[in-house]
C-alpha cells in the first residue's frame, strides 16, 4: 500500500520518462504480437486473411478503447485520492471501478457479438474476407472482460506510481500470445482462427498479473458494497463516459480510413492494416504518454502543486519530440526490411514506404493531442478531450483523407491523417496550457478568499 504520493516528489521528467517507457514496453509488446500475427498470416499467402484482420481490428480497437476509458477514470480518481492522502477512498474507487468495468464489458460483448457480420460488412468486408474476419472477431471479442480487468488494474497501479507492475500485465499477455501463435496457426493448422484463439488465451492471462499487483501487493481491492458502488458510479462515469466517447473517435477515424482504403482494393486495405500494426509498435512510447502524464497531473493536483504540473507538461513535450525524431529516423532506415518482411508488393509496399518516409513525423503532433487529453481527462474537463478527438476523427480525417485520396490515390489516405494530426495536436495543446493556467488562477483566488482578514492584509503588504 502506498505510504505517500510518490509522483509529487522528484524529477517530473524522470516520472514522465519512466511511466511512459514502462507503459510503452507493455503496449509495444502487445501490439508487436499483433504485428507478428499479421506476419504469420502473410506467410499463409492468403491476402484475404491479412485484410480480414485489418477489418476486425477496427472493431477490436473500439472495444479496447472502452477498456482504456475505464482505466483512465480509475487512474484519475485513485491518483487524486492518493495525492490528498486518502488511501481508503482510493481503495474504494479502485474496487468499484473494477466491478463496474466487468459488468459493462460483459454487456458490450452480449450486444456486439451477434451483430459482428453486419458491422464488418458495413466497414467494407465482403466474400471470403468477411467470413474470415467474422470468425476471427467472434473468438477475440469473448476476451473483452479480461482486457477490461487488465486495463483497469494497470491504471490503478500507475495511479499509485507502480509503473513496473502495471507493465507486467501486458508483457505477460504478449509473451503468452507470441508462444501460442505459431502453435495454433501452423501446428494445429487453424490459420486466422488459431491467431484469435491464441490472443484470447493471452488476454485471460492479464487477469492473473492484475490480481497479484492490485490485491496482493497494494491491497487496493476492498469489500464490494453495492450502495458505495452506486455512489461512486457518478464520479467514475463523469470521467469514463467522455473518455469512452473520446476513445471511440479513434475507431471512428479508423473506420473512415478503412472504408476509403477499401475503395482502392484489398492491397490498399492490407497496406493500411500493416501500417496500423507498425504504428503502435514503433510509437508505443507516445501512445503511453497520456496514461503516464495523467497520474502525475492527478497526484500533484490533489496536492495542489501547480508548478510541478507545468513542469510535467514541458517534460512530456521534450520526451515526445526526442522519441518521435529518433523512431522516425529508424523507421525510415528500415522501410525496405518491413516491405520484405510482409512480402508486400505494389500498392501495399508503396503505402508502407510513404508512411515510413513522410507520414510518421506527424506523430509528434499526435503526442501533443495525447498530452492535452491527459490534462482534460484528469483535471475535470473530459468533454474537451471528447470534442478534440471527435474533431480529429471527423473534420481532421474524412475531408482530408477524401481530398488527398482524390489527389494522390491510396497514399493520400496517410497524408490526410497526418495533416489532421498536426492541426488538432496544436489546437489541443494550446487549449490544455490555457486550462492549466486557469485552474492555477482559480486556486490562488480560492486561497486568498479563505484567508482571515489580518492574514490577507499581511499578504498584500508583503506583495
CA torsion 293→296→300→302, rounded to 10°? Answer: 100
DSSP annotation of 7: G
- pLDDT at position 1: 42
Q: Does residue 452 lie within any of the structural domains? A: no
Range of the domain at 434: 13-447
Rounded to two decimals, what is the model's pTM? 0.74
Distances (CA, A) of 195 to 29, 53, 146, 200: 16, 10, 17, 9
Which helix (H) or strand (E) segment is 408 a member of?
Answer: helix 398-408
Beta-carbon contacts of residue 78 (< 8 Å; ≥ 6 apart): 90, 93, 94, 97, 155, 156, 159, 160, 220
Q: Encode pLDDT of 188-218 as tens digits.
A: 988 889 989 998 998 888 888 888 889 888 8
Distances (CA, A) of 107 to 63, 112, 144, 145: 12, 9, 10, 9
- Comparing 18-27, 316-325, 375-384, the range with the smallest average pLDDT is 18-27
Beta-carbon contacts of residue 219 (< 8 Å; ≥ 6 apart): 1, 91
Q: Does residue 1 lie within any of the structural domains? A: no
Rounded Cα distance between 373 and 389, Å, is 8
What's the mean pLDDT in 102-129? 90
Domain count within the chain? 1
Percent of the chain predicted with pLDDT > 90: 27
**pLDDT-derived band of residue 462, with 50, 70 and 90 as boundaries?**
very low
Task: Answer left, alpha or beta for residue 43, where phi above 0 means left and psi between -120 and 50 means alpha.
Answer: alpha
- pLDDT at position 348: 85
- pLDDT at position 3: 47
Q: Does residue 146 lie within any of the structural domains? A: yes
**pLDDT-derived band of residue 135, with 50, 70 and 90 as boundaries?**
very high
Rounded Cα distance between 10 and 308, Å, is 10
The whole-angstrom distance between residue 427's C-alpha and the CA centroid of its chain comes to 20
Rounded Cα distance between 98 and 96, Å, is 5
Q: Does residue 8 lie within any of the structural domains? A: no
- The angle subtended at Cα 296 by Cα 290 and Cα 301, nearest 5°, is 115
- Comparing 164-168, 314-318, 399-403, 410-414, the range with the smallest average pLDDT is 164-168
Rounded Cα distance between 166 and 209, Å, is 9
Q: Does residue 6 lie within any of the structural domains? A: no
Q: Does residue 457 lie within any of the structural domains? A: no
Taking each helix axis from N to C end, the angle separating 144-159 and 87-112, rounded to the nearest 10 degrees, works out to 160
Rounded Cα distance between 350 and 338, Å, is 11
Which alpha helices (DSSP H) does 283-397 contain, by range? 284-287, 289-302, 306-333, 335-341, 346-357, 363-378, 382-393
What's the mean pLDDT in 383-397? 87
- pLDDT at position 463: 43
Q: Does residue 3 lie within any of the structural domains? A: no
Higher pLDDT: 100 or 393? It is: 100
Q: Encode pLDDT of 327-382 as tens digits.
A: 999 999 998 888 888 877 778 888 889 999 998 999 999 999 989 988 998 888 88
Beta-carbon contacts of residue 73 (< 8 Å; ≥ 6 apart): 97, 236, 237, 239, 240, 243
Sign of the alpha-carbon torsion through 332, 288, 273, 421: negative
Residue 336: half-sphere exposure toward Cβ, Cα within 13 Å:
1
- pLDDT at position 447: 67
- pLDDT at position 456: 41
- pLDDT at position 31: 67
Q: What is the DSSP string of 103-146?
A: HHHHHHHHHHGGGHHHHHHHHT--HHHHHHHHHHHHHHGGGHHH
Q: Does residue 106 lie within any of the structural domains? A: yes
Q: What is the mean pLDDT of the chain?
A: 84
Note whether 78 and 96 are within 8 A (CB).
Answer: no
Backbone angles phi, psi at 345, to 5 degrees: -145, 165
- pLDDT at position 321: 94
Sign of the alpha-carbon torsion through 39, 43, 49, 50: positive
Q: Encode pLDDT of 113-123 as tens digits.
A: 999 999 998 87
Backbone angles phi, psi at 404, to 5 degrees: -75, -25
**Which of 159-163, 360-364, 410-414, 444-448 is modeled with the greatest confidence?**
360-364
Higher pLDDT: 49 or 38? It is: 49
**Residue 423: pLDDT above 90?**
yes
**Residue 251: pLDDT above 70?**
no
**pLDDT-derived band of residue 457, with 50, 70 and 90 as boundaries?**
very low
3 state SS of 358 = coil
Amino acid at each position: 500500500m502506498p505510504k505517500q504520493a510518490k509522483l509529487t516528489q522528484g524529477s517530473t521528467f524522470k516520472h514522465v520518462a519512466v511511466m511512459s517507457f514502462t507503459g510503452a514496453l507493455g503496449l509495444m509488446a502487445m501490439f508487436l504480437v499483433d504485428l507478428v500475427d499479421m506476419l504469420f498470416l502473410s506467410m499463409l499467402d492468403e491476402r484475404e486473411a491479412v485484410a480480414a484482420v485489418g477489418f476486425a481490428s477496427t472493431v477490436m480497437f473500439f472495444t479496447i478503447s472502452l477498456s482504456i476509458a475505464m482505466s483512465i477514470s480509475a487512474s484519475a480518481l485513485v491518483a487524486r485520492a492518493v495525492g490528498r492522502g486518502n488511501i481508503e477512498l482510493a481503495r474504494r474507487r479502485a474496487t468499484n471501478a473494477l466491478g463496474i468495468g466487468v459488468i459493462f464489458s460483459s454487456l458490450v460483448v452480449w450486444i456486439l457479438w451477434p451483430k459482428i457480420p453486419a458491422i464488418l460488412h458495413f466497414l467494407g468486408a465482403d466474400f471470403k474476407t468477411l467470413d474470415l474476419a467474422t470468425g476471427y472477431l467472434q473468438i477475440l471479442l469473448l476476451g473483452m472482460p479480461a482486457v477490461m480487468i487488465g486495463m483497469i488494474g494497470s491504471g490503478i497501479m500507475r495511479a499509485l506510481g507502480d509503473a513496473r507492475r502495471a507493465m507486467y500485465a501486458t508483457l505477460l499477455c504478449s509473451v503468452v500470445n507470441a508462444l501460442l501463435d505459431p502453435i495454433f496457426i501452423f501446428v494445429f493448422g487453424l490459420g486466422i482462427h488459431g491467431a484469435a484463439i491464441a490472443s484470447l488465451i493471452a488476454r485471460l492471462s492479464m487477469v492473473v498479473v492484475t490480481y497479484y499487483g492490485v490485491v496482493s501487493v497494494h491491497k487496493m481491492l476492498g469489500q464490494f458494497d453495492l450502495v458505495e458502488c452506486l455512489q461512486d458510479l457518478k464520479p467514475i462515469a463523469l470521467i469514463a463516459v467522455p473518455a469512452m466517447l473520446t476513445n471511440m473517435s479513434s475507431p471512428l477515424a479508423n473506420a473512415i480510413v478503412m472504408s476509403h482504403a477499401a475503395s482502392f482494393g484489398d492491397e490498399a486495405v492490407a497496406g493500411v492494416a500493416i501500417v496500423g500494426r507498425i504504428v503502435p509498435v514503433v510509437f508505443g512510447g507516445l501512445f503511453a504518454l497520456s496514461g503516464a502524464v495523467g497520474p502525475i497531473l492527478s497526484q500533484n493536483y490533489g496536492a495542489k502543486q501547480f508548478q510541478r504540473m507545468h513542469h510535467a507538461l514541458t517534460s512530456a513535450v521534450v520526451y515526445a519530440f526526442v522519441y518521435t525524431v529518433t523512431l522516425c529516423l529508424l523507421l525510415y532506415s528500415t522501410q525496405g526490411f518491413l516491405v520484405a518482411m510482409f512480402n508486400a508488393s505494389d500498392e501495399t509496399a508503396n503505402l508502407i514506404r510513404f508512411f515510413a518516409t513522410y507520414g510518421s513525423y506527424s506523430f509528434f503532433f499526435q503526442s501533443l493531442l495525447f498530452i492535452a487529453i491527459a490534462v482534460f481527462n484528469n483535471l475535470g474537463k473530459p468533454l474537451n478531450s471528447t470534442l478534440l478527438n471527435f474533431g480529429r476523427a471527423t473534420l481532421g480525417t474524412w475531408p482530408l483523407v477524401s481530398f488527398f485520396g482524390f489527389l494522390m490515390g491510396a497514399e493520400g489516405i496517410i497524408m490526410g491523417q497526418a495533416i489532421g494530426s498536426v492541426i488538432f495536436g496544436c489546437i489541443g495543446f494550446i487549449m490544455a496550457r490555457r486550462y492549466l493556467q486557469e485552474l492555477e488562477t482559480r486556486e490562488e483566488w480560492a486561497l486568498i478568499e479563505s484567508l482571515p482578514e489580518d492574514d490577507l492584509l499581511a499578504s498584500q503588504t508583503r506583495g
